[in-house]
Structure formats: structure tokens, C-alpha cells
Amino acid sequence: MELWEVIILGIVQGIAEFLPISSSGHLVILESLLGGELENLELNVALHFGTLMSILVVYRKDLIPLLFDIPMMSKIVIATLPVVFSGLVLKDLFTATSSSAFIAGIGLLITAGLLLITPRIDRGTKGLEEMTYRDSLVIGLFQAVAPMPGISRSGSTIVGGLLSGVNRDAAARFSFYIAIPALLGATVLTLKDILEEGTSGTPLSTMAVGCVVSFAVGIVSLNALLKIVSKGQIVWFGVYCAILGLIVIGCTSAGWL
């Protein structure tokens, strides 16, 4: 894999992992545009590790107190269980659709639909402390479908929070709290695949570039999204996802992707 491809993948991962536009969907579309197979297990680990570290850096002041906040840690566990369950039960389905640009287009339209309703449901007043375990489960159920390409994990979980009556800032913060075990789990599962299938010989320097790029871009994207959510402007990402989804579906139907 060329260095410029690694840099592009790192940028896309760093932006789309946190902005509600689906990193998996964009990577599938990018792969189709480049006309090559970009799937690389070692690089996948590096990219996910980079975005995981960006969350840890942005929320570094919250993490130590969070570890001793038993009620909040319980809510994070509850919100994580649905995606663990869906990942185990629907693994074959997620794998089968992971490289389909057409499915990614459909997923982007679903993400668009979720984001476009945010002005109507953004009425919540509950903060993190007022969240119930039921709220956590609802948010977790929204995260459970995020492995499908085109469906944004951050977008769906924030919408799940808003539907539960959580205010927008708390919904965004909780979304990224539960992203930590989600990204860590994805990294561990990929490492397991590497051990089973063997490495592809990706140079350590290549993995380091991908990790650093996704980390740096991830910090910028995460901070940007927090500001955008606080201003109630997340709906514009829905417009973007709708346009891109329609373009991708049209291009795949015409055989251009």
C-alpha cells in the first residue's frame, strides 16, 4: 500500500469516526473509488488505535474520576452490551456487507434520516447524572446497528440520547464514553483475526503513519463535533449524508462504483 493511501485512510478514519457521517461507509466508498482492496488488518488496528487515543486525550480529565463512578460505569456497560451481542450474532451479516458501496449508500440514508429529525427531538433536559439505565440501554440499542457500513456510530448514539430526553451535550459526551469500549473491542477482535490469519507484512512505519494521522485528525474532529452539537447544528451532517448516499446508490446502480 502506498504511503499516500495510508495518509488518506488515516484522515478519513479520523474525521468520519467522530463526525456523524460513518467512517466505515466512507472507507468502503473510498475503496471503490480507488478501485483496489484497501482492507489491511494491521493497518485497521493502527487506525482504530489512533482514534481511540484521541478520545483518551480529549477526555483525559474525565477518565480517572469516571473509573470510580460506579453508576456511570454501569451505564456504559449496559450501553455496550447490545453492540457486543449484535457483533456476535450478526457477525456474518456485517462481514458480508462490509465492502458493499451500495449498502454503504443505504446506510448513509439511514444516518441522514436520524440526523434530520434532531431539531424535532432536541428537547431533552437530562444531564449525565440524570440518565437512567433505561436511557443507557436505548442508546446502546442505537449503537448496535453501527457496524453496518454507512450508519454512523456517533450519530446514531447521539440521536438515541436525544430521543431518551438527554440534553445534547450529555448525549454527545456519553456517546464518546461508550466509544472507548467499542473501539477497544474492535481493535481486540482485529488482533484476534491477525493471530488466526497471519500478518500481511505491513511495515511498522506504515502502521505508525496511519495511527498518527488518525490520532491527530481525530482530536480535531472530536473537538469540532462537540462544538457543533452544543450549537444544535448536527442536522447539517444529515443533509450531507443524504446527498452522498443518493450519489453512491446512483453510481453503484449505474455500475460506476
Q: Report the number of distinct structural domains present in the chain.
A: 1
Q: What is the pLDDT of residues 94-150, one digit of tens each?
A: 888 888 999 999 999 999 999 999 999 999 999 999 999 999 999 999 999 999 999
Among candidate residues 11, 18, 6, the one with its CA nearest the CA of residue 226: 18
Residue 46 reports pLDDT greater than 70: yes
Dihedral sign for Cα 50, 51, 56, 59, please: positive
- Residue 246: domain span: 3-253
Asked whether the beta carbons of 215 and 76 are under 8 A apart, the reply is no
- Return the C-alpha cell found at 229: 452539537
Dihedral sign for Cα 135, 138, 143, 146, please: negative
Q: What is the pLDDT of residues 234-245, one digit of tens each?
A: 999 999 999 999
Residue 85 reports pLDDT greater than 90: yes
CA 161 to CA 141: how far, in whole Å? 11
Residue 38 reports pLDDT greater than 60: no
| pTM recorded for the entire structure | 0.93
Average pLDDT over residues 215-244: 96
